[in-house]
Amino acid sequence: MNDEFADNIESALVRSSEDFERAPFDREVAFYNSICLGNIELVHTFYAPLACEGCGILSENPLRNLKYHFAISTAMIARYCINGGMPPEESYRISDLYIMKADKCKNEADVHMVHSEMIDCYTRTMRRVRNSGVYSKQIVRIIDYISEHLHSRILIKDASDYLKISPAYLSRLFKSETGMSFSDYVCKAKVEEASNLLLFSEYTDLEISNLFCFSSQSHFIRVFRKYMGVTPREYKKQYKVHGIEKK
């Protein structure tokens, strides 16, 4: 990268940071935060394809311009993940790896594919970072399993079959390490993701209830109130008062 390009990248990063400070709850920030949480399902919900419109022209060549914006996007994610606890050397290693991969792309479609791979890599790495040293390998695997099946009906038998252990043993192990029953953890994880969809998507309560495989809308409302202290409708109103609007 030449000095002029490096200056362009740095200026774009400064503008992006200033935008985040002005609008801390918009969908783009929700996307970056979901990466830091290691929440793959939520990342997919908020993900938008890499775009250059309205972001400045760094090259008159469309492919090269897209690659430059790829580098900016990667740098932003790297910064967020470092702030979220990822060791800087690991974050920069991932950043360098995918920027080099993008630089070798021959067309825009390949750049978009590498961008998606980069986001997935950072998200999975952040999930590992957040869980490392806290839980046993078995529980980390089950938490990963839960995160990847939030839009399905999650049963402890299926989870125990995944680990090839008995449901009773998994139940005891999960409670002893997390302090929550398996079913409570699943419900809480679903509610946490549902709360983001309530704020940053156009889904109705019923659609969200179905999306997360609650038995009924009333069941969803009851579980949501248990963990959030308010109903979904009250939750949306509460945050609207604080200036958080759907984008």
Range with lowest mean pLDDT among 100-104, 153-157, 226-230, 234-238: 234-238
Q: Chain centroid to CA 10: how far?
A: 25
pLDDT tens-place string over residues 207-229: 999 999 999 999 999 999 999 99
- Mean pLDDT for 221-241 is 89
Residue 246 domain-assigned (yes or no): no
Range with lowest mean pLDDT among 34-38, 182-186, 197-201: 197-201
**Per-residue pLDDT at 183:** 97
**Per-residue pLDDT at 40:** 86
Q: Of 88, 107, 131, which one is at a domain's C-terminal end? A: 131
Q: Does the pLDDT of residue 21 top 60, yes or no? A: no
Which of the four pLDDT bands, split at 50, 70 and 90, describes residue 100?
A: very high
Q: Are residues 118 and 227 in the same domain?
A: no
What is the rounded distance in angstroms from the CA atom of residue 34 to the CA atom of residue 236? 19
Residue 247 domain-assigned (yes or no): no
User: Distance between the two ends of the chain, CA-based, in angstroms?
Assistant: 34
Which of 236, 198, 81 lies closest to 98 in space, CA to CA?
Answer: 81
- Mean pLDDT for 126-137 is 84
What is the rounded distance in angstroms from the CA atom of residue 150 to the CA atom of residue 140? 16
Q: Of 100, 131, 162, which one is at a domain's C-terminal end? A: 131
Residue 15 domain-assigned (yes or no): yes
Dihedral in degrees, nearest 10, Cα atoms 101, 113, 43, 125: -30
The full DSSP string for 39-91 is: -HHHHHHH------TTS--S-SSHHHHHHHHHHHHHHHHHHHHHHTT--HHHH
**Per-residue pLDDT at 23:** 39
Q: Are residues 229 and 208 in the same domain?
A: yes
b/e map 101-139, b = 16+ CB within 10 Å: bbeebeeeeebbebbeebbeebbbbbbebbbeeebeeeb
Q: Are residues 99 and 26 in the same domain?
A: yes
pLDDT tens-place string over residues 54-69: 556 777 888 998 999 9
Task: Kindly report the CATH number assigned to the domain that includes residue 223.
Answer: 1.10.10.60
Q: Does the pLDDT of residue 7 top 80, yes or no? A: no
**Rg (the chain; Cα; Å):** 20
Residue 57 domain-assigned (yes or no): yes
Note down the domain range covering 168: 137-241
Which of the two residues, 48 and 13, has the higher pLDDT score?
A: 48
Q: Of 82, 98, 131, which one is at a domain's C-terminal end? A: 131
Q: Are residues 105 and 153 in the same domain?
A: no
What is the rounded distance in angstroms from the CA atom of residue 25 to the CA atom of residue 76? 16
Q: Are residues 107 and 84 in the same domain?
A: yes
**Per-residue pLDDT at 20:** 41
Q: Are residues 188 and 123 in the same domain?
A: no
Q: Are residues 78 and 192 in the same domain?
A: no
Range with lowest mean pLDDT among 137-151, 153-167, 228-242: 228-242
Residue type, 224: F
pLDDT tens-place string over residues 154-198: 999 999 999 999 999 999 999 999 999 999 999 999 998 899 888
Looking at the 3D structure of the chain, how many domains does it have? 2
Q: Does the pLDDT of residue 117 top 50, yes or no? A: yes
Which of 141, 122, 121 lies closest to 131 in space, CA to CA?
Answer: 141
Residue 18 domain-assigned (yes or no): yes
What mean pLDDT is reported for the chain?
A: 85
Residue 118 domain-assigned (yes or no): yes
Residue 8 domain-assigned (yes or no): yes
Q: Are residues 127 and 191 in the same domain?
A: no
Which of 31, 51, 34 lies closest to 111 in space, CA to CA?
Answer: 51
**Per-residue pLDDT at 196:** 84
Q: Are residues 152 and 189 in the same domain?
A: yes
